[in-house]
Structures are given as structure tokens and as C-alpha cells.
Amino acid sequence: VFNVLYSERGRKTKLKDILKELKKKGIVLDEETLERTFRVFERQNEVDYFINKNARGFLKEQFDLWFYQYIYSDETEFTERRVKQLKVLKEIAYKIIDFVGQFEDELVKIWQKPKFVLNSNYVITLDRIAKKEGGIEVIEKIVDRLIEQKREFKGELDRWRSIKENNRSYRERFEEVGEIGNQVVEWYLLDLVDEDFDPKGILIPTITGKNLNPEYKFLPVDTRYFKDLEVEILSLFDNLDEELDGWLIKSENWQALNTILPKFKEKVQTIYIDPPFNTGSNEFTMYINRFLDSAWITMMENRLRLAREFLKDTGSIFVRIDYHGNHYVRFLMDDIFGKENFRNEIIVKR
């Protein structure tokens, strides 16, 4: 029924607008029903759950613990009939556990299955492109596209001016803009160029041909704005991975870390993470912030253990956390990285 798109300039869609669109499609709903539907959806997305990687072993361990305590309690009678009942109870319990374990095992397989990369883009400064053989010719094509984008930029110049005037931080600017489809707009909002920027000035004619203007040599070209030229840009580099300064990955972090582990195993010098503090509040809308302690600890343990695989022997890891989870994290860190490797606790005074 719905086509979900990015919010335009952070605008929140009104229920009346949704109902109007539904009516156009012949779907008649009242506002109360729609609100109830959204509440159900919201609750479903706040469910606290995690996948146990070895549910069968965990449940059997817990059952055996209970079974042991029950047998050795003062109330247990060790008659022949009672012993047979306990044996049957254990057999039935194990069958149920095996049945439940099958479901969890399938979920684990799905969760651990390698995921596809939906989209990838490269950000390369003009000086790096210019240094490559044929780089100037590629920049000429980029300039042609930038001239077209500059026309679009000028068509909404008042809007871009207003965004810069009303928002000091880059984050606020881009949150207001929403999805950007123009390199010139991005440069302008990042204060890399002004509104009088002329793409033709990127290249300077000389006796030997065209050269890159030093004023613009560090302008970052994002290939998402030049998809028709992306292959041509990337083909300039014999070993692109070796020339990259860094990776920015938008993903569920456990999946992303597993994907890049073969490339970066034991090669990372510094790790800094800022996980949910699990405060139980709704102040954060980007992720769940009210796990059960057991689920939160499991989530953290999985990712910290994976992070250990990335660190060099001389590497460091910094975990930002507050009093809600500090004691849990310290225990996990001691277990995974070694208690003897703890260096210090940094307290930030606000």
C-alpha cells in the first residue's frame, strides 16, 4: 500500500495526507484505524529479542541445572516410579529443546548468511584523478556534468542560501535538505565553494594542454553524482583499494564487520564505539535503547568479540558508555581483551 521514501527536508507526513493518498487508490480508512496500525508497527519494532547462536546447548544446560537442583532438593522422592517419571520428563524436555533449537538454528543461518551490498560510491579528490594517465580527460567530462548541475543549483539558489543562513552545523544543513542529487549543492553546503563557483575554472589552459587549478585540487568528487562516469573514474586506478584512505559503511554493524573481517583482520590500530546506553528512554529514534539487560549484554558481547579480531596486538579500543552499562561492559572487556590490558577510564565532565 505504501511506498516508503526518505523524508523531504525532515518533514513529518500528516495522517490526513496519508489518508488522502489511500483514498485516491480506492482504500478507505479512518484516522483511528491508521493510528492503531502505526502503533502496532512501532511496538513490533521495539520488541526486545536476540538470536541465540546455540539455543539447543543453552536450553539443555539450563534444564540440566534445574533438573540437578530438583533431584537434590529435600522434597524429591527416589522411588522407582518417580525415577522413571524423571527420565521420561528429561526425554520429553530434550525433544522440545531440539525442536525449538531447529528454529533458532535456521534463524542463525539466515542471520549469518552473507548480505549483498545494496549500493557503493567512491569519494576521490580531483588531484588524485588528475595524476592518473587520462585523468585530465576524465575531469573534463566531470566538468561538463558540473556545468549542468550548476544550472540546477542556481535555479534553487534562494533555498540553498536559506539553509546555510538558518543552520550553522553541516549536520543540520543536510538534515534539512534530505536527499541530494547534485555535487555542486553538496560542495556549497560544505563551504567548499561559494555561490559564484564556476566549474569551468577547475581546469586551466596552458601551452601543453589543460592542468588542474590548484585552488580546486582537493574538491572531493562523489561518484554517486556521476554514475555514468563512475567506471571510467575508477578504471584510472590500478589498485583502488590500496589508494583508499578509509571506508564509510552504512549497515547493521555485525553484518558489516563480518563482511570486511577477512580484509582487516588484525590490521586495525584504534577502535572507538558509541553503542546504545540502554537507558530505557525514547530519546533516541535511530535504534532501540531499552533492551533487557540479557539481550543488551549479548549484543555487546557479540560485537566486542568480533572487534577483537580486527585489532592489532598493539591496538587500542575505546568504548563510550555511561553508568547504565558501565559495569557490564567492563566485565565483557576484561573477558574478551584480557583484564591485564585495561589501561584507564576516561570520565567526561559536561
DSSP secondary structure letters along 16-43: HHHHHHHHHTT----HHHHHHHHHHHHH
CA-CA distances (angstroms) from residue 269 to 58, 212, 266, 307? 35, 35, 8, 11
| CA separation for the pair 313, 325 (Å, rounded) | 26
Cell readout for 3 is: 511506498
**Shared-domain flag, residues 214 and 156:** yes
d(C-alpha 231, C-alpha 140), whole Å: 15
Q: For the segment 307-325, what is each residue's pLDDT rounded down to a tens digit?
A: 999 999 999 999 998 888 8
- What's the pLDDT tens digit per position in 231-276? 999 999 998 888 888 888 888 888 889 888 999 999 999 999 988 8
Decide if pLDDT at 6 tops 50. Answer: no
Helix (H) or strand (E) holding 94: helix 80-112
Does one domain contain both 234 and 134?
A: yes
E-only strand ranges, 247-341: 268-273, 311-319
Confidence check: pLDDT of 210 > 80: yes
193 with 221, same domain: the answer is yes
Residue 208 pLDDT exceeds 50: yes
Look at the chain and report how many structural domains it folds into: 4
Which residue pairs, CB below 8 angstroms and at least 24 apart, start in 63-66? 63/90, 63/93, 63/94, 63/97
- Per-residue pLDDT tens for 81-117? 888 888 899 999 999 999 999 988 888 887 777 777 7
C-alpha cell at 145: 556534468
Whether 133 and 99 share a structural domain: no
Q: Phi-psi category of 191—alpha, beta or left, where left has phi over 0 and alpha has psi -120 to 50? A: left
Domain range for 313: 253-341
pTM: 0.67
Cell of 266: 588484525
Residue 347 belongs to some domain of the structure: no
Contact yes or no for 60/94 (Cβ under 8 A): yes
pLDDT band at residue 3 using 50, 70 and 90 as cut-offs:
low
